[in-house]
Chains A and B, each alone.
Chain A
Amino acid sequence: MVTVFETRSEKAFVSTITVILILLSVVALIPLLSVIATSLSSKSAVDMNLVTLWPKQFTLDSWSYIVDRPDLWRSFALTLVTTVVGTVLALLLTALLAYPLSKSKNEFRWGAVLMIGVVIAMIFKAPIVPYFLTVREIGLYDNPLVLIVPHLLNPFNLIIMRTFFKQFSKELEEAAFLEGCGYFRMLFQFVLPLSKAVLATLALFYGVVLWNQFQHPLLFLQNPDWFPLQIKIRQFITDDNVIMSGAVSTADLNYNERTLRATTVLFAIIPIIAVYPFLQKYFVKGAMIGSVKG
């Protein structure tokens, strides 16, 4: 009797938790649903407080307006290019340092010292002003390269890659060295092709930072031609003049600032939602590698 009672109450316990979690997931998605509904509703429906979680007086006018903004597409293209180029270069730079650091003391004498240097760089964060002055001094002020160069090496990601490289067997490498293979060939022909898992994970980590970056362009970029997507979106959602600047001045517009803001936000979310399902397993794997080390 006791066991039956136990399992029954346990079932109730598990299903209560399951229900709570499903509710939480739904609640987490409500703000998103509300934004979607707003972006697909007409100006008058929004002004009359009719729109909650479902579009009212359905219209694609906000979308066609946003999709027709060339300045938004320019920022989008710029961000896409800097993200892709930046990610590739970041993986390269990280691998070039992680590989020697994965070697033993006999092979790379300065490894231990360098490793301490990396850890110090990870723990101590420089105050923002000297950082700003340094980066400006090397010519990256108002230079679109600032969207790429400062992000090319992250000490935390470096340590993840080094840990991964350490598992490769020494015997294989020694055999290759006897054949006259150098360290560079070793890295590019043997090590990297066998490291796809960690490369994918770190590509995502670097990619998300590059795509979502806000502080660097805010600090360093003045010329609106080089504004990346996040700065552009920030302008759109905080400055009604910017977002409405392409509107024809007729009274019967089917959109207003609010529907356009909602559409802008979604415009920026869609690429992330689109790639997310393909990448989720790498994200999770990477976070776990990181947690074991960190």
Chain B
Amino acid sequence: MAIPGIVFLIVFKYIPLAGAVIAFQDFSVFKGFTDSPWVGFKHFETLIDHPDFARVFGNTLMLGFLKLALVFPVPVLLALMINEIRKSALKKGVQTALYIPHFLSWVIVSGIVFDFFSLSGLFNIVIGWFGYDPTLVMQESGYFRIVYVITAIWRDAGWGTVVYMAAISAIDPQLYESAMIDGASKTRQIRHITFPLLLPTVLVLFLLEIGNFLDLGFDHVFNLLTPMTYSVGDILDTYVFRTGIQQAQYSFATAVGLFQSVIGFILVFVFNKLSKKVSDGGLW
């Protein structure tokens, strides 16, 4: 009974994972995984010296950092706020409005964004009212990062509250009752009950997010990129796609991908250790 599933895991997960060894070979399609010559760390050395790599890696770090600093906290705040709404119909309406964008693909989201920022789009009409000249936001590298952050929030922050809402609903109501008897105000209840009890969940999700630090979402970035924003928007994922798939530099692009995975793994490992030191929480 388990065999079809095991075969699937081997073919689609384990063979590609093992295939990462081509990062240490000069892989050729005709010779395959087994007969391609081994070259050690050659591709990693090329990579470190490559001028493209510094730029692409820098872009990835920058966007990863912005995502962590500006996108990650939003669902926590939203969940704390949604939790305070009393009328359940209103609560549901707000939640629905904030969840829906999550189910739109990045192709669609980018379609909406490009329309919004087009020359005759809403954005340029509104800044025109205030006397500003029209700007092609999507074609200027200076705006790419902020557009990335805003779209990340717009699409996923609402959905991100689901986990936190579940954690909040698990808090013992007696805590609030006794706090109210002691005369604690709403803000104090949030500060001293809800937030501290939510913190372990925040920590676990933060660790998972750290592990995905360099994983910015291929679909997201690829669909927002234009030739004019490559200088800031070209990231490891899009670079690997271009060099590895389109230009068929298989071994080199695998080295880039492997580098990315190893950094991700080290980050999770280090932050897991740290979080165990400062609190009891951790991933393992």
Contact = CB atoms under 8 A, between A and B. Distances in A.
A174 interface: no
Given A53-B122, A114-B6, A265-B112, A272 B103 contact: yes
B155 to A, nearest CB: 10
A40 interface: no
A215 B219 contact: yes
Contacts, number: 243
Interface of A: 2-3, 6, 9-10, 13-14, 17-18, 20-22, 24-26, 28-32, 34-35, 38, 46-47, 49, 51-53, 93-94, 96-97, 99-101, 110, 114, 117-118, 121, 124-135, 138, 150, 152-153, 155, 158, 183-184, 187, 208, 211-212, 214-215, 219, 230-231, 233-234, 237, 258, 261-262, 264-265, 268-269, 272-273, 276, 280, 283-284, 287-288, 291-292, 294
B17 interface: yes
A34 B116 contact: yes
18 contacts: A47-B120, A49-B128, A93-B4, A99-B1, A124-B261, A131-B19, A134-B16, A153-B5, A184-B1, A212-B107, A219-B245, A230-B105, A233-B108, A265-B108, A268-B107, A276-B100, A280-B99, A292-B166
Given A28-B98, A230-B107, A128 B84 contact: no
Contacts of B94: 21-22, 24-25
Which 7 pairs show the lowest CB-CB distances between chains A and B? A127-B257, A130-B19, A97-B5, A126-B16, A212-B105, A25-B97, A131-B16
Contact of B241 (A99, A125, A128, A265): A128
Interface of B: 1-2, 4-6, 8-9, 11-20, 22-23, 29, 78, 81-82, 84-86, 90, 93-94, 96-101, 103-108, 110-116, 118, 120-122, 124-126, 128, 154, 158-159, 162-163, 166-167, 183, 185-187, 201, 208, 215, 218-219, 223, 237, 240-241, 244-245, 250, 253-254, 256-258, 260-261, 265
